Amino acid sequence: MRLGVLDIGSNTVHLLVVDAHVGAAPVPALSQKTEVRLAERLDLSGAISDEGGQLLYDALVLARATAREHGVDDLVAFATSAVREATNGNEVLARAAEAAGVDVQVLPGEDEAKLTFLAVRRWYGWSSGRLLVLDIGGGSLELAIGGDEDPSYSVSVPLGAGRVTRDYLHADPPKRSELAELRAYARATLRPIATRLAEEGEPDRVVATSKTFRTLARLAGSAPARQGPMVRRSLTHGQLAGVLHSVGRMSAAQRAELDGVSTSRARQIVGGAVVADVAMETCGVGKVEICPWALREGVILRRLDWLTHT
């Protein structure tokens, strides 16, 4: 079966096509990203602009055509924090999706955390024991912990790399005062969550997913993406502190020249690094393993489960 998942995020509309069948890992067949930057196309009231709505529609039309061209049997589309939190997000999404002929679901933040947790559990298996999963997206940070396929506790907070960059880091490079203010906000947000996570017990393995953590690990010396998903990658808190010290003093243009940092991510990687640093600090995490599967794979796995039991 050829499945497609369409992720409408803060920065891109990302179509992932996989070949999948029961008892086997989904095999990627196609990945197509269209940059829309919805989170940056908001007016003062927090509404998605007409330009943003048009870009979203164009991206959905392209994704639908690509899915058809590549023989996708089932397409699952979802939107995350950028649409979820815009004052007119549901209206804009519904209009664009209907016109493009795509059925789209808006995922609650807690569901993002749960589906990402599922993907990590399936990747590492039952021998990994109790998992703590951290996922920094463009608009939000998700955390989840548990010993089963569904986490026993999961939460989503507004600490995405793009969001904190827009809200706190205005200078290029960021000022020390901006970094300090962001760090204080992140600590205040995460301290009660860290306390709640501790009540769930010590994790056997701490895992980080998605582009921000992958980029930070690459900057710390982990294997490049071209070596494939089976290569083990990790990031220690000490390595992260070194990366943050270095990239925090660079301009966005300088960061874009670093191996593993895309031009579209160059501006927000410092904000993401601060959030990662504070998350590891407050949760008492010394090292994270980098999982190649995240939310999109979780959606595919859940969909495949549903299709095979109906």
CATH of the domain at 80: 3.30.420.40
Domain that holds residue 275: 110-295
Is 306 part of any domain? no
Q: In this structure, is residue 303 part of a structural domain?
A: no
Beta bridge mates, 17: 4, 30
Same domain, 96 and 124: no
Nearest C-alpha neighbor of 141 from the set 297, 285, 300, 273: 273
CA separation for the pair 38, 86 (Å, rounded): 9
- What CA–CA distance (Å, rounded) separates 102 from 183? 39
Final residue of a structural domain among 88, 107, 126: 107
> In this structure, are 149 and 261 located in the same domain?
yes
Containing 47, the helix (H) or strand (E) segment is none
User: 288 with 178, same domain?
Assistant: yes
Domain boundary among 107, 134, 164: 107
Asked if residue 130 and residue 76 are part of one domain, the reply reads: no
Strand partners of residue 42: 48
Separation between Cα atoms, residue 100 and residue 213, nearest integer Å:
33
**Per-residue pLDDT of the chain in tens (310 residues, 90 and over written 9):** 899 999 999 889 999 999 988 778 899 999 999 999 998 898 889 999 999 999 999 999 999 999 999 999 999 999 999 999 999 999 999 999 999 999 999 999 999 999 999 999 999 999 999 999 999 999 999 999 999 999 999 999 999 999 999 999 999 999 999 999 999 999 999 999 999 999 999 999 999 999 999 999 999 999 999 999 999 999 999 999 999 999 999 999 999 999 999 888 899 999 999 999 999 999 999 999 999 999 999 999 999 888 777 6
Which of these three, 87, 107, 127, is where a domain ends? 107
pTM of the model: 0.94
With b meaning 16 or more CB within 10 Å and e meaning fewer, what string describes 288-310?
bbbbbbbbbbbbbbbbbeeeeee
SS3 200: coil
- Report the distance separating Cα 275 and Cα 294, nearest Å: 18
Torsion of CA 130, 135, 141, 146, to 10 degrees: -10
CA distance 59 to 100: 9
Q: Which of 155, 115, 125 is nearest to 279 (CA)?
A: 155
Q: For residue 242, give the amino acid letter.
A: G
